[in-house]
Amino acid sequence: MSALRARAEEYLAMRRALGFRLTTQGRHLMSFVRFCEERGADRVTADLAIEWATRTTRGSGDEVYQARRLDVARIFARHLQALDPATEIPPEDVLSRRYRRIPPYLYSPAEVAALMSAADGLEPAMRAATWRTLIGLLAVTGMRQGEACRLERDDIDLEAGTLVITGSKFGKSRQVFLHPSAVVALRAYERTRNRVFPEPGAGTFLVNSRGGPLDGHNIQHTFAVLIAAAGIHAPPGRRAPRLHDLRHTFTVATMLDWYRDGGDVQARLPLLSTWLGHVDPKSTYWYLQAVPELLALAAGRLERAVPGGEAAR
């Protein structure tokens, strides 16, 4: 093991002991360490860090993504410099940080139904049941896929029709209420799971075909298969549909319903932020400018509220 790799593993262990999960950051850091080892480098330099950050495995030319990769190397370099003064810390202004959120793919109700039907064709039957339940759960709650995969059995109270999310992205717990139809579907899944696996192989509510927890690395591959089977295609020039876009679809559908029923959307948005587990309400307000239909409804309401409409502006 190289000295740089040993330092990286010590650094990650220390940060995780402090409560940081470092799932993506840890993967990026070890990728950077491998990059340095392949070049025979025994310490971090700014040039190496920049070369690694901009030479992405998926060929992304997005400077925001590259800047985030560089942040991983920069923070590690700061830690190393206290141990080795010869360590170079990459400059902060070398890559653009102007954040551009890409508009999500929004599924229609028919497309969500098609995805669930496609899930029924998976083998074995337990895998099909899990995927049908996962898609339905994400579509009606707006949970993050990782939150759904980590749900423990005790986190779901089907008698009360609630679930508690404890392993959220930002470490905050929140309660989500379930529609009676969702409760019925989750009960049916629970019965199937308990019949197939009388002796629990995992404490998670959703399980894979062997009774263990869902593997986050395999989820995207399976979902790509379902997207193809459901015949769903993104418009030219747009991002391909993702499982995470079910969360965006839930959010937009909720806001559209609020506008259409004449409710006070501004007053309700903080509630939606809490429901989604957003730390910053700006993450929820973003949908107002990212989705044309929402923007049109908001603009229409503003015109009705301001006497004279266009003339008043």
For 206, list phi and psi in degrees, rounded to 5: -90, 135
Q: Which of 15, 144, 150, 248 is catalytic?
A: 144
Residues 6+ apart with CB under 8 A from 233: none
Q: Does residue 248 have an active-site annotation?
A: no
Q: Which of 244, 259, 285, 301 is catalytic?
A: 244
Q: Which of 28, 193, 247, 248 is catalytic?
A: 247
Q: Does residue 172 have an active-site annotation?
A: no
What distance in Å separates the CA atoms of residue 295 and residue 298, rounded to the nearest whole number?
5
Q: Which two tokens stand for residue 202?
A: 């995992």
The dihedral sign for the CA sequence 221, 222, 223, 229: positive
Element (H, E) at 313: none
The dihedral sign for the CA sequence 245, 124, 151, 19: negative
Single-letter amino acid code for the residue at 243: L
> CA 94 → CA 85, 91, 97, 107, distances in Å?
22, 6, 9, 38
Q: Could you count the other beta carbons within 10 Å of the beta carbon of residue 100? A: 8
Q: Does residue 210 have an active-site annotation?
A: no
Please say whether the beta carbons of 44 and 112 come within 8 A.
no
For 122, list phi and psi in degrees, rounded to 5: -75, 155
Q: Which of 105, 107, 189, 287 is catalytic?
A: 287
Total residue length of the chain = 313
Beta bridge partners of 162: 157, 177
Q: Which of 169, 210, 239, 268 is catalytic?
A: 169
Q: Which two tokens stand for residue 169?
A: 């992205």
Q: Does residue 169 have an active-site annotation?
A: yes
Q: Which two tokens stand for residue 208?
A: 């894979």
Catalytic residues: 144, 169, 244, 247, 278, 287
